[in-house]
């Protein structure tokens, strides 16, 4: 790796960087890793290496920026915009490792480093964005770009200028200082929010000593809960708030008292107590409002959505309201159907939130004769991996080869080399499947390194999929639920967006797209989970090897519309909550749980439980990148429902359709407006009716 920007390119005088001293005994700071595909040498990297590496990398960035600013040559695209895009290679490398591991395999030491380094990182970002001389050079190029720029060059120039403007470059000196203050505090609070959620999740256990309380549970769940108890040095069975433990217990236990305790623990995570996030929520919302106001917007949602596919808050609010209006009555009908069924079984009173999973699962099993216990034996994790890889091969011709020589960050992680149909290396893919105390809940795709090109040298991505699936036990392998198979396909779709990335500039490649477009590649992949033609290729019983029965696949397909409206409205309720917090026009000083109840009221189907809320643990919007953007999941569902209809029309493995999707969506990143890319693939703009039809509403 070279951190020096050389001095001649197309007639432009390039900045020459005077680098600080670099301690190459630190494995994070060596010029190039002597590893396969220059993958991170995780086994050589110790926690103590991160802080000094960050400090050095920040100094390198400052030197790179100083060289651009002090270049005596007239600002041009090649001597200003390109080196600005190229700076930060070292910092990106270190951040790409540290912050991904902070989510997937953290420790108290790493969390403290994050808190210690965040102010310096935020200060650096602000120093770049608010540097008047640097912005003057960028603005000069933006106003007079000259000739000979490619379409990709012009897109980079436009996005660079917009980024500076949106980060306060045009503010007065006084307002710039306020911007620095607000963004620095926001970044620190977002870190604390996420750390509190993880700590609160790990802190709670429901310990069961009475064997009669678990006798009704499926064998796989009893074994999982017993293994959890043993890992904690106790006898009996232990339920946690991690999804592979929490959701199955709610689904299969009939003990309302235990389930209520568990559910309330989940929905009061970070509401009061040691890991309280309620004041942090209000302060983050206030800081975001103040940032938006400084930048000329009435709300943070207005500010965020200016740079999204939807473009305006009014568009999002209309979209959510329209979907809610068209599906809420069906969702209420779903609830009443399950409630009547529970009543027929002797349930006293109405179904409460902690009852929902149990009775909805029992009703599904009765009506469709399908449940997780029937399905899981055919979804052994190793077979699912083979099936997902097979799907990618049938669609795109790519191959996945185990790469045991590639270092991984945890024994649970496996690495694969991904190659194209012609043998060309595309990416390294890391798979990390099982929950652990050092990993946050949920499932996500990330990158240790993105893709870009410098001259003839192309840097290919290092992609990681992180999930929380049921662990194998002493007697059973990891067997996935249908929902977990769907989750795997979803995250794998994100990985394809990274794997197929093409282009010169990192910031325009892969998943670096509008947030309400980024879920299209992931959500379209979920459709294959219930395609009989796909399941027949690989789904087999883990003990007998018998293929998944055709009638079981038929029942899975028939059950696809079950509770579709309820699930849709539940997602809309989260989007409404997100928009409510980020549409504030005055700071909020009231009760967080009451605010959420009011925001969700139009979409409320299950009974409200006072004092509970998802907001204080809603990591997507308060410590992730989905603030004023959670609606994007439903937005992308409309896109994918319309897009997948073309596969349905032409064939679910049709190579021509897949090639078009790869060429127009997966490989294009942010090179063009997402609607332009979508229409080029599909031939028309998407319509909401495609999602309504997919849910089977009105049939």
pLDDT per position as a tens digit, 147-186: 999 999 999 999 999 999 999 999 999 999 999 999 999 9
Mean pLDDT for the stretch of residues 528-549: 96
Domains and CATH numbers, the chain: 8-170 (1.10.1370.40), 204-267 (no CATH), 297-350+563-699 (1.10.1370.10), 377-562 (1.10.1370.40)
pLDDT(5) > 50 = no
pLDDT grade for 3, boundaries at 50, 70 and 90: very low
pLDDT per position as a tens digit, 12-71: 777 788 888 899 999 999 989 999 999 999 999 999 999 999 999 999 999 999 999 999
Cβ pair 451, 491 in contact under 8 A = no
User: Which pLDDT score, from 0 to 100, does residue 8 have?
Assistant: 36
What is the rounded CA–CA span in Å between residue 95 and residue 98? 5
Mean pLDDT for the stretch of residues 644-661: 97
What is the rounded CA–CA span in Å between residue 439 and residue 435? 6
Residue 317 has, within 13 A of its CA and on its CB side, a CA count of 10
What is the rounded CA–CA span in Å between residue 569 and residue 697? 13
User: Which pLDDT score, from 0 to 100, does residue 625 have?
Assistant: 86
Structure tokens that stand for 437 in this block:
């105390």
pLDDT per position as a tens digit, 229-259: 999 999 999 999 999 899 999 999 999 999 9
Q: Which residue has the tokens 């009939």?
A: 254
- Strand ranges inside 580-695, DSSP E: none
User: Which pLDDT score, from 0 to 100, does residue 192 have?
Assistant: 97
List 103, 159, 286, 491, catalytic entry: 491
The 3-state secondary structure of 516-544, one letter per residue? CCCCHHHHHHHHHHHCHHHHCCCCECCCC
Mean pLDDT for the stretch of residues 114-119: 94
pLDDT(226) > 60 = yes
Percent share of the chain, pLDDT over 70? 98
Mean pLDDT for the stretch of residues 568-581: 98
pLDDT per position as a tens digit, 437-455: 999 989 999 999 999 999 9
- 511 in helix, strand or coil? coil
pLDDT grade for 699, boundaries at 50, 70 and 90: low
Q: Which residue has the tokens 């009011």?
A: 598
User: Which pLDDT score, from 0 to 100, does residue 4 have?
Assistant: 38
User: Which pLDDT score, from 0 to 100, does residue 1 have?
Assistant: 34
User: Which pLDDT score, from 0 to 100, does residue 441 have?
Assistant: 86
DSSP state of 470: P
Query: Average pLDDT over the chain, rounded to whole?
Result: 95
Confidence (pTM): 0.87
pLDDT(10) > 70 = no
In the residue annotation, 109 being an active-site residue is answered as no
């Amino acid at each position: 790796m070279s951190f020096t920007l050389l001095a001649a390119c197309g007639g432009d005088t390039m900045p020459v960087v005077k680098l600080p001293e670099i301690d190459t005994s630190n494995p994070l700071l060596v010029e190039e890793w002597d590893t396969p595909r220059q993958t991170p040498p995780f086994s050589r990297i110790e926690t103590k290496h991160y802080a000094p590496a960050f400090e050095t990398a920040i100094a390198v960035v400052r030197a790179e920026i100083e060289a651009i600013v002090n270049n005596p040559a007239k600002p041009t695209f090649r001597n200003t915009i390109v080196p600005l895009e190229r700076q930060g290679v070292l910092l990106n490398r270190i951040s790409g490792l540290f912050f991904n591991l902070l989510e997937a395999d953290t420790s108290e030491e790493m969390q403290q480093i994050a808190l210690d380094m965040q102010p310096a990182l935020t200060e650096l970002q602000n120093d770049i964005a608010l540097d008047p001389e640097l912005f003057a050079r960028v603005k000069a190029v933006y106003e007079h770009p000259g000739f000979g720029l490619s379409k990709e060059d012009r897109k980079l120039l436009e996005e660079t200028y917009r980024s500076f403007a949106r980060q306060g470059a045009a503010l007065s000196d006084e307002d710039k200082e306020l911007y620095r203050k607000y963004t620095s505090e926001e970044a620190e609070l977002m870190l604390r929010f996420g750390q509190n959620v993880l700590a609160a999740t790990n802190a709670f256990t429901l310990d069961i000593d009475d064997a009669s309380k678990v006798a009704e549970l499926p064998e796989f769940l009893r074994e999982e809960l017993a293994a959890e108890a043993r890992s904690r040095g106790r006898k009996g069975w232990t339920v946690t708030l991690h999804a592979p433990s929490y959701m199955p217990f709610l689904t299969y236990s009939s003990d309302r008292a235990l389930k209520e305790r568990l559910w309330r623990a989940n929905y009061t995570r970070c509401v009061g107590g040691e890991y309280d996030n309620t004041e942090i929520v209000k302060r983050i919302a206030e800081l975001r409002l103040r940032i938006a106001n400084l930048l000329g917007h009435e709300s943070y949602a207005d500010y965020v959505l200016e740079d999204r596919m939807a473009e305006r808050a009014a568009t999002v609010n209309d979209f959510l309201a329209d979907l809610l209006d068209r599906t809420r009555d069906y969702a209420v009908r779903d609830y009443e159907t399950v409630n009547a069924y529970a009543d027929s079984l002797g349930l006293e009173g109405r179904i409460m939130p902690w009852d929902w999973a149990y009775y909805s699962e029992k009703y599904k099993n009765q009506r469709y004769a399908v449940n997780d216990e029937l399905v899981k034996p055919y979804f052994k994790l190793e077979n699912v991996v083979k099936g997902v890889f097979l799907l990618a091969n049938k669609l795109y011709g790519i191959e996945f080869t185990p790469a045991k020589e590639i270092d991984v960050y945890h024994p649970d992680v496996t690495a694969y080399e991904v190659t194209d149909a012609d043998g060309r290396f595309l990416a390294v893919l890391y798979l990390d499947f099982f929950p652990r105390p050092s990993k946050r809940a949920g499932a996500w795709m990330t990158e240790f390194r993105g893709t870009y090109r410098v001259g003839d040298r192309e840097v290919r991505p290092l992609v990681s999929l992180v999930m929380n699936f049921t662990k194998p036990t002493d007697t059973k392998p990891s067997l996935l639920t249908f929902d977990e198979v769907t989750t795997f396909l979803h995250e794998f779709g994100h990985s394809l967006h990274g794997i197929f990335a093409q282009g010169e500039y990192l910031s325009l490649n892969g998943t670096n797209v509008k947030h309400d477009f980024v879920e299209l590649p992931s959500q379209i992949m979920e459709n294959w989970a219930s395609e009989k033609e796909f399941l027949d290729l690989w789904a087999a019983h883990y003990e007998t090897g018998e293929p998944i029965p055709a009638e079981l696949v038929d029942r899975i397909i028939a059950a696809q519309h079950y509770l579709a409206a309820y699930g849709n409205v539940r997602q809309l309720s989260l989007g409404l909550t997100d928009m409510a917090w980020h549409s504030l026009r005055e700071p909020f000083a009231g009760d967080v749980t009451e605010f959420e109840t009011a925001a969700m009221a139009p979409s409320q189907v299950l009974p409200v439980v006072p004092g509970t809320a998802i907001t204080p643990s809603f990591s997507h919007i308060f410590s992730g990148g989905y603030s004023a953007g959670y609606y994007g999941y439903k937005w992308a569902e409309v896109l994918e429902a319309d897009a997948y209809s073309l596969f349905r029309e032409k064939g679910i493995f049709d190579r021509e359709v897949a090639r078009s999707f790869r060429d127009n969506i997966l490989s294009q990143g942010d090179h063009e407006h997402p609607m332009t890319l979508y229409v080029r693939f599909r031939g028309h703009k998407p319509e909401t009716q495609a999602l309504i039809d997919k849910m089977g509403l009105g049939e």
